Amino acid sequence: MSYGVSAALQAAVYQQLSANSDVVTLSGGAIYDAVPAGAVPQTYVTLGPEDVREASDRSGAGAVHRFTVSVVSEVAGFGAAKTLAGAICDALENAPLTLDRGRLVGLWFERASAKRTGTGGAVRQIDLRFRARVEDN
């Protein structure tokens, strides 16, 4: 197995989040593959790091992708960020994503971490880790 399905998986995840009305409403539509330079909204979603492991078997070529989707917010408290993180989980977990290359076997939530970052802890960041099993046909 190669890293060949990665771009298709990322595009499908981005599309799924961008098409979900709850995620769009709660994020104000600020969903980024790469955070733009300059000023950004108080709350936004960004696609983050990915780790991929070969997972071919007798049925064919495959891989397991572990990737992060982050909620970053300067809004006081974690409440709004956690609500948005929950909507992201609802939008992605077991979602029937259609990939431009390969096939998604399954998509599952693995874990989350919530922390304060930035000067004086003014920024809240929730990193959601997902696991996707893909096949490359």
Rounded Cα distance, 24 and 46, in Å? 13
pTM for this entry: 0.93
What is the pLDDT confidence band of residue 114, given thresholds at 50, 70 and 90? very high
Mean pLDDT in residue range 106-130: 93
| Mean pLDDT (whole number) for 91-120 | 93
* Amino acid occupying residue 71: V
Quote the pLDDT of residue 6.
Answer: 95
Amino acid at 22: D
CA 105 – CA 66 distance, rounded (Å): 14
CATH code of the domain in which 65 resides: 3.30.2000
Q: Give a yes or no: residue 119 inside a domain.
A: no
- Is 45 a domain residue? yes
What is the structure's pLDDT at 30? 97
Is 54 within a domain?
A: yes
Span 48-66, mean pLDDT?
A: 89
- Tokens 């961008």 locate to 18
| Number of domain units in the chain | 1
Domain extent at residue 10? 6-110
